[in-house]
Amino acid sequence: MNEFFETSLFAGVFLSLAAYELGAFLKSKFKLGIFNPLFVSITVTIIVLLAGRIDYNVYYASAKYISWLLTPATVCLAIPLYEKWALLKNNIKAVGLGLCAGTATSLTTVFVLSLLFGLSHEEYVTLLPKSITTAIGMGISEELGGYVAITVAVIVVTGVLGNMFAELICKVFRITDPVSRGLAIGCSSHAIGTAKAMELGKTEGAMSSLAIAVSGILTVILANVYAYFL
């Protein structure tokens, strides 16, 4: 299998898309959060790589073309925000305070749990950027002396969990306002969560898109402060 992936130009792309389609089929069939397409695709891909003894670098060499779509996909998140520009201006104070509160809550939670579990400084700063997009989170982790590889894994897990449980949590806590729902999802689970927000509605998607950018900037600033707490 490893040799096949080495000689094939798009084997990694095929595996990734097939695993995602399997997840999408299971989600539509059973309507259960555990069958989230992202979670299923990650799990299936890992199982295939382990079972076939395929080196990750070999897999990535033929799957990297998918990652090229990340930048234009991220830019496209500005479209729903532009469509809801008037709504944003009418709620600018609430949006600003909400994003500040969400970012501070994320960082404070990491700090408190790190104290409870006795984490080292390196482990602590590794977790600080858990709720922001990977590109920004990697830079923060590296700058603060964290373990970048673990930061990436934590960010992905955070996003997948947000995608899986965001709607349920909003129902449990009776969060019905679309602006609040979108900000909460984007602020806590970045782009992966935003995919779920867009499923919930255009307003949720627009506010979640805004939260990705603003919470990322706020985390860059506040993480450097929180890093001195432990």
pLDDT per position as a tens digit, 28-79: 888 777 788 888 998 999 999 999 999 988 998 888 888 788 778 777 777 8
The band of 149, judged by pLDDT with boundaries at 50, 70 and 90, is confident
Neighbours of 64 (CB within 10 A): 11
pLDDT in tens, 164-186: 899 899 999 999 999 999 999 99
149-151-154-156 Cα dihedral, nearest 10 degrees: -80
Which pTM value belongs to this model?
Answer: 0.83
- Could you tell me the CA-to-CA distances from 3 to 11, 51, 54 in Å, in that order? 11, 14, 8
Distance (Å, whole) CA 196 – CA 151 = 22
Distance (Å, whole) CA 129 – CA 138 = 8
pLDDT at 178: 93
Element of type H or E holding 218: helix 202-226
The mean pLDDT value for 139-152 works out to 92
Pick 85 or 122 by higher pLDDT.
Answer: 122
pLDDT at 221: 94
> Quick one: which of 213, 229, 207 has its CA closest to 132?
213
Neighbours of 102 (CB within 10 A): 21
Neighbours of 96 (CB within 10 A): 11
pLDDT at 121: 94
The mean pLDDT value for 143-152 works out to 92
| Residue 103 reports pLDDT greater than 90 | yes
pLDDT at 219: 95
Distance (Å, whole) CA 130 – CA 227 = 14
Q: Which residue has the tokens 């792309």?
A: 13
pLDDT at 152: 87
